[in-house]
Amino acid sequence: MKKYILIIFLSVTILGCSEDMDFPTEASMPAEEFFETAEDAVQASTAIYAEMRVWVHVESPLIATGELASDNLEKGSCVGCFTEWFNYKNFTVSPDDGLLDAHWRACYWAINMCNQVTTNVPGIDMDPNLQDRVIGEAKVWRAWNYFDLYRIWGGVPIVNQIPVGPEANIRTTKEETLEFVIQDLREAVELLPDFHDTENLGRVTKWSAMGLLAKALMYQENWEEAKAVTDEIINNGLSMKGEPFDLHPDFYEQFKEEQEYNEESLLEVPASAIPNNPDISNNFSSNLQGVLDQWGQGAMVPSDDLANAFDQAGDSIRKAVTIIYRGEVTPDGDTIQGAERLDGIDGTPRYNGKAYVPTPNRFDGLGNFGPQRNIRLLRFSEILLINAEAALHVGGDAATPLNRVRERVNLPPIENPTFEDIWFERRLELAGEQDRFYDLVRTGQANEVLAPQGFDAGKNELYPIPAEQIRQTDYEMEQNPGY
């Protein structure tokens, strides 16, 4: 799959885009002339994967909204750099923020690519199983992008076909947006295979769709179905390599390149590196949080509050992996250097260890921008924690899945866990993986935890709709309250 991404990445614009979505068309081959063969269908699907590793999907917009706004991260990097990111930390981001607008456009660009597939591929004369797979892949990535939009902005315009009509200008409700995500994933589950052969390793599977479905159901508070879906994944699910799901025994090794698609993996964005070719090789997800001037920018870094949370739990294993301090030596033998001072950090400079790229995995001629490391989007440990939370709601066994996660990092079992126990475990397990802010909002903890940062209840649960998007609809689209 990695080789395919490199080939198709430069050809993404071949698919074209609808002029109604106000995206520039950069290629000469219109979509209606492209979708003629099975090969066209597969290339169109592959192009979506290439799009999903572009920085505006996986770098600053996602990390700023999902983690920097929480108590997990602080604005870092050099003093005076990226000062606009303080707006996310302090809840002063405005509708004119360029980062939000770029991310909104990126989500709908990817959705447009998915819609090209779901609209055009059903008309191609091709193997039915391959046709189902390609359509299922597009539905998963469309659902992922709408889930991203839902968590950041609430209800958004639902565009699910080509050509685009007036629906692009009108927001649906938050509930309708989430229901669309869930419906796409339910349909994808029926279309996708359990796993792929080696040649197609990295493509989404039935279990990828079920994992995302479980997460969306958690946000919908549909606990009965969330429990049933996660039970099925735990008892019968297969990783991307076709292995029964399990937790990888070594939490440090889990985040290394060598463990991509392992027994814990449900969904990853494939990434590759070509030496001396940063234009193709960029994986900005690792770059943004990596060690400053050591294959990273150190732009968003772990907070003292997060470090204290690990200490409170006695969780030395996950802390050592998640937070790496200047002067430390990693298990791979790298000495963490970086800057002597980071903006927004009073104490010892520190970085997200999950994003750090060890020396053996670096490539020449790529500067800070080219780790050949997949972007991990969903892990089995989160499925266990969703199962535990759902079980507590429906009267089932929450202790077993929770303690399975704790056992990996040598923490004692909790016999009768509370919701607070499960939410705290999510914080420690998923720290830096773009979930903390949304978890605080969905569990009703945001006002209490984030008020010292400037969080305003009734407003800051959602971000402002980009002003440019409202202007493009002649102000038909409504702004979120308070902005």
Same domain, 246 and 384: yes
Q: Where are the beta strands (DSSP E) in 98-169?
A: none
Quick check: 74 and 81 in contact, CB under 8 A? no
3-class DSSP state of 18: coil
* 23-61 core/surface letters (b: 16 or more CB in 10 A; e: else): eeeeeeeebeebbeeeebbbbbbbbbbbbbbbbbbbbbb
Output the pLDDT for position 32.
Answer: 58
User: In degrees, to the nearest 5, what angle opens at C-alpha 375 toward C-alphas 206 and 21?
Assistant: 80
Residue 3, pLDDT score: 32
CA distances from 162 to 30, 147, 186, 369 (A): 12, 20, 21, 35
260/390 same-domain check: yes
Q: For 174, which DSSP code?
A: H
> How far is the C-alpha of 148 from the C-alpha of 142, rounded, in Å?
10
Q: Which domain holds residue 282?
A: 271-314+325-373
Residues 415 and 386 in one domain: yes
Closest CA to 273 of 200, 195, 367: 367
Burial 242-276 (b: 16+ CB within 10 A, else e): eeebebbeebbebbbbebbbbbbbbbbbbbbbeee
- Cα(330)–Cα(332) distance, integer angstroms: 5
Q: Per the domain annotation, does 478 fall within a domain?
A: no
User: pTM for the complete prediction?
Assistant: 0.92
The answer to whether residue 387 is domain-embedded is yes
**Can you give the pLDDT at residue 79?**
79
pLDDT tens column, 123-174: 999 999 999 999 999 999 999 999 999 999 999 999 999 988 888 899 999 9
Give me the helix-helix angle, 380-394 and 419-430, nearest 10°.
170
What are 378's strand-pairing partners? 267
> Does 244 share its domain with 337?
no
Closest of 475, 482, 469 to residue 105, by C-alpha? 469
* Whole-number pLDDT of residue 226: 98
- The Cα 122–Cα 87 span in angstroms is 45
Q: Is residue 276 part of a domain?
A: yes
Per the CB < 8 A criterion, the answer to whether 467 and 95 are in contact is yes
108 domain residue, yes or no: no
At a CB cut-off of 8 Å and minimum separation 6, what does 83 contact?
343
- CATH number reported for the structural domain that contains residue 236 in this entry: 1.25.40.390
In the chain, the percentage of residues whose pLDDT exceeds 90 is: 72
Q: In total, how many domains does the chain have?
A: 2
Q: Along the 483 residues of the chain, how does pLDDT read in single tens digits?
A: 443 333 333 233 323 333 332 323 333 344 557 899 999 999 999 999 989 988 888 888 889 999 999 999 999 887 788 888 899 999 999 999 999 999 999 999 999 999 999 999 999 999 999 999 999 999 999 999 999 999 999 999 999 999 888 888 999 999 999 999 999 999 999 999 999 999 999 999 999 999 999 999 999 999 999 999 999 999 999 999 999 999 999 999 999 888 999 999 999 988 776 666 655 555 666 778 888 777 778 888 999 999 999 999 999 999 999 999 999 999 989 899 888 888 878 889 999 999 888 877 766 555 555 556 788 999 999 999 999 999 999 999 999 999 999 999 999 999 999 999 999 999 999 999 999 999 999 999 999 999 999 999 999 999 999 999 999 999 999 999 999
Contact 103, 468 (CB under 8 A): no
Are residues 361 and 346 both part of a single domain? yes
* Cβ contact 316:309 at 8 Å: no
Tokens of 433: 């993986």
Q: Note the pLDDT of residue 200.
A: 94
Which 3 state secondary structure label does DSSP give 269? Answer: strand
- Neighbour count for residue 220 (Cβ, 10 Å): 16
On whether both 266 and 277 belong to a single domain, the answer is no
56 in a domain, yes or no? no
365 with 286, same domain: the answer is yes
Query: Residue 185: what pLDDT?
Result: 98
* CA gap 96, 87 in Å, rounded: 12
Find out whether 107 and 149 touch, Cβ atoms under 8 Å.
yes
DSSP, collapsed to helix, strand or coil, labels residue 375 as strand
Dihedral sign (CA 56, 58, 59, 60) = positive
pLDDT tens, position by position, 127-137 = 999 999 999 99
Distance CA 97, CA 42 (A): 36
Asked whether residue 419 is domain-assigned, the answer is: yes
Residue 189 lies in a domain: no
Among the listed residues 246, 186, 178, the one whose alpha carbon sits nearest the alpha carbon of residue 213: 186
pLDDT at 338: 84
The H-or-E segment that residue 324 falls in is: strand 323-325
Examine the domain organization and report whether 286 and 364 are in the same domain. Answer: yes
Examine residue 283 and state whether it is found in any structural domain, yes or no: yes
Q: C-alpha angle 143/144/148, rounded to 5°?
A: 115
Judgement on whether residues 253 and 392 belong to the same structural domain of the protein: yes
245 and 386 part of one domain:
yes
Please give the Cα distance from 19 to 30 (Å, whole number). 11
> Are 417 and 276 in a shared domain?
no
Task: Quickly count: other Cβ atoms within 10 Å of residue 3's Cβ.
Answer: 10
Geometric angle at alpha carbon 389, from 246 and 391, rounded to 5°: 90
Q: Is there a single domain that holds both residue 392 and residue 438?
A: yes
Which pLDDT does position 387 carry in this prediction? 98
